[in-house]
Chain A
Amino acid sequence: MALLEVKGLTKQFGGLTAVGNVNLQLQKGEIVGVIGPNGAGKTTFFNLITGFIPPTSGKVFFRSKEITHMKPHRIAGLGITRTFQLNTVFGGMTVLDNLIVSSQLHSRFGFSETLLNLASNKRKEREMREKANRVIEFMRLGDFVNSDAATLPHGQQRCLAIAIALMTDPTLLLLDEPFSGMTAEETDKTLRSIREINQRGIDIVVIEHNVAAIMALCHKVIAINFGTKIAEGTPEEIRNNQAVIEAYLGEE
């Protein structure tokens, strides 16, 4: 049984086909990379899977359950969490608050228990603080716990974005260009973190421009161009695929 199955997913904006008839099967334990030139439809693909925009046609199944027309927060509730390319953090809130707010899915702070300041509320507050601190340590954000997320260096902001996603305890993590704008050293650290997340049993789909990082990280790579899948295979196969080379470098 595939963890995530995408069948004939299509999105048309007016006459433009942003994503056309994409099929994908994701098995448990995998890290899948999605590559493609700018404007190929990678982010739209994520937006379709996570319910941020409705598809024109096609279906998405998660653990054999159809999630095609669900709202984003419901899909997150089922265990699919995505990160964003831009505006990845809650700027203006501290790093700790960024993470605690993202734990709502599991902490389920309620209105009346908050209003009455019940013991359960205080316990949750304490537990979520601890959980946030574990995630902060894991993503190496310890120096920034009480900093405003907006003031973080770019690389740390992208790590915080992953940390925010981790607070939801996802089973499937969709990362939209996690390495963009990172230094080589930061990329390296983040690569290791992502691998470790995967080893802990979280499946990952990564959209990325950094081909070297994708090749090092993924078990399987999908190449998209003009909204359609042009190749699928192991990193090695993709590297040597004629269609992929043409998409990136143009035809001779």
Chain B
Amino acid sequence: MLKMNKWTAGALGLLLIIILLIPFFIQDRYILGVFIVLLLNCSLAVSVFPILGTGLFTVAHGGFMAIGAYTATLLVMKLGVNCWLAMLAAGITSIIVAVLLSFPTLRVKYLYFFLITFGFNEIIRLAFGNWAWVGRNEGITDIPRPSIVIPGLVNIDFRATAHYYYLGLVLLVIIIVVMHRLWSSQMRRIWQAIHINESLTQSVGIDVFKYKMLVFVIGCFFAGVLGTFYAYYYRFIAPSEFGLSTSMYPLFYVAIGGLGSIPGALLGSTLLTAVPEIFRFTNVYQPMFSGVILILVMLFLPKGLISLPAVWRDRKRGDQSSAKD
């Protein structure tokens, strides 16, 4: 567990209050939209980092978002299913597909796993892109807004951008809580052990396949749910939205923030969402800045931004000891 002093706890509390109050200060729909994208990116990063921590470099996350987004959208639009039930169904569909995908993919490692998940992602994208019933590459437009209605009590119609902000925040909190529980327990040890030394993990009686599948399925479940959030928020989905770059970005967020920790994943997502936004005026050169950050961080902070305090402390200590000499 994190050991916090009074100041860190206070700062975190303040940060939490600011996060909760953001929609009250920011009325501009565009800027609030950036914050919603930030929440989505943070959620994606936190949902994928344990998979990476197990040594599975998946680039199928976009594909699972697509599965979730299309499942929920079709359930709502074609069958009139309740939007929240549809979101859950989207997550469950992702679980089923992830389990099926586990059998061929989890037997191979490293680059091979990467390539198979990439192939899967492309198959999903191309399949939706050629399927007339779901609008081919034009996708689906006018997806209805979600709503929370309890007669006489609650009526949230999601006409205000703030509603989506809070929905995104709720999803992020749920994902953080679930992943934190798992990542601060024996599950983390098992997943890391598999990453470090698969044979040794087997030799102590751990069913490596089972635990790889577990972490993959949990991550993909959330990817499916987040895909649904994406569909509800933009009210438009198309296969091109869930291509390779959508799958790759969460990996960048985690790598930049620092592999193997939730704060790292959050930090990386925030930086890589904020910086391109700041450089939006550069138009076509905008994606370049994400690349530059990635290269700089990998060169100078291979353990990610989260290691900055430790690196800084070491350097300071190094200076002192060299000063003594």
Contact = CB atoms under 8 A, between A and B. Distances in A.
B200 A104 contact: no
Contacts of A167: 204
A136 interface: no
Interface in B183-220: 185-187, 189-190, 192-193, 196-197, 199-208, 214
Interface residues of A, number: 38
Contacts of B207: 71, 73
B109 interface: no
B171 interface: no
Contacts of A101: 186, 189-190, 192-193, 201, 204, 206
Of the candidates A52, A72, A100, A164, the one having the most CB atoms from chain B within 10 angstroms of its own CB is A72
A226 interface: no
A73 B205 contact: yes
A88 interface: yes
Interface residues of B, number: 23
Interface in A43-102: 50, 52, 71-73, 76-77, 81-84, 87-93, 97, 100-102
Contact of B187 (A83, A84, A109): A109
A104 B205 contact: yes
Nearest to A150: B196
Contacts of A84: 199-200, 203
Contacts of B317: none
Given A101-B189, A125-B186, A115 B204 contact: no
A164 B178 CA distance: 29
Nearest to B191: A101
A92 B196 contact: yes
Contact of B178 (A77, A92, A115): A115
Contacts of B214: 111
B271 interface: no
Contacts of B201: 101
Contact of B206 (A73, A100, A124): A73
A77 B205 contact: yes
Closest 9 A/B residue pairs (Cβ) = A76-B205, A105-B205, A109-B186, A101-B189, A72-B202, A102-B204, A114-B185, A90-B196, A77-B205
Interface of B: 178, 181-182, 185-187, 189-190, 192-193, 196-197, 199-208, 214
Interface of A: 50, 52, 71-73, 76-77, 81-84, 87-93, 97, 100-102, 104-105, 107, 109, 111, 114-115, 117, 121, 124-125, 128, 164-165, 167-168
